[in-house]
């Protein structure tokens, strides 16, 4: 490699690393984590029906300032109602994932349960790791749940899902308030640096 080309490469690397450092990561990787847009922007809902809904209501969990939270309202028999957010691939890396969320029970009756699960995923592959199934939760008042798990090698995004599930009983209910959802891998540029290095190599091969 000529000195000139080497110099050009070094400049590219420095420029890309500077970009990475600027982009960085917010501490919380979740979009609209406190539902303060007043709607479900950033979130997906599965299991909607005539007797099941997820809405944004005027209440707020203790972990963050605000005036809104999500309300999962499942009054259908034997139904899984899920509120879910998947990060964009590239937003997560292998390593510790710290999580926290605020929940407050509405009603749990006749087999109604509430679980949370966080997945470490790899684009094009699927689930490579998990927090394990968290719950059953039924906190009478606002409660903040915190914990962490290790995302294995290959992880490039995370998914968190809240599941208000009912039993096969007439009158089964699972309703829960959810707020201030936090997924945090620390402020890091490791992932974007790795991507940048890959790009650099491919450019000069």
Contacts with Ca ion by CB under 5 A lie at: 34, 60, 66, 68-69, 179
Which helix (H) or strand (E) segment holds residue 114: the answer is strand 113-122
Which helix (H) or strand (E) segment holds residue 141: the answer is none
CB of 73 or CB of 156, closer to Ca ion = 73
DSSP 8-state assignment for residue 203: H
Least Å distance, CB 60 to Ca ion, is: 4
CB of 66 or CB of 111, closer to Ca ion = 66
Least Å distance, CB 57 to Ca ion, is: 10
Least Å distance, CB 160 to Ca ion, is: 16
Residue 127 half-sphere exposure toward CB, CA atoms < 13 A: 9
CB of 37 or CB of 199, closer to Ca ion = 37
Least Å distance, CB 162 to Ca ion, is: 14
CB of 70 or CB of 92, closer to Ca ion = 70
**Peptide bond connecting 106 to the previous residue in cis, omega within 30 degrees of 0:** no
By DSSP bridging, strand 80-86 and strand 157-165 are antiparallel
């Amino acid at each position: 490699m000529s000195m000139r080309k080497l110099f050009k490469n070094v400049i590219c690397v420095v420029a890309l690393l500077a970009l990475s450092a600027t982009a960085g990561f917010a501490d919380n990787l979740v979009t609209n984590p406190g539902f303060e847009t007043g709607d479900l922007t950033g979130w997906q809902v599965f299991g909607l029906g005539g007797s099941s809904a997820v809405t944004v209501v005027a209440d707020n969990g203790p972990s963050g300032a605000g005036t809104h939270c999500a309300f999962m309202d499942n009054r259908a028999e034997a139904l899984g109602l899920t509120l879910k957010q998947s990060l964009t691939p590239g937003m997560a890396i292998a390593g510790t994932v710290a999580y926290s969320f605020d929940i407050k029970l509405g009603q749990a009756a006749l087999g109604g349960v509430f679980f949370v699960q966080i997945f470490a995923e790899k684009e094009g592959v699927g689930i490579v790791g998990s927090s394990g199934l968290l719950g059953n939760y039924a906190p009478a008042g606002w409660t903040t749940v915190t914990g962490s798990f290790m995302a294995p090698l290959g992880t490039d995004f995370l998914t968190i899902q809240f599941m208000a599930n009912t039993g096969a009983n007439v009158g089964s209910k699972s309703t829960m308030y959810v707020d201030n959802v936090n997924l945090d891998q620390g402020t890091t540029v490791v992932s974007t640096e790795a991507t940048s290095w890959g790009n650099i190599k491919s450019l000069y091969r």
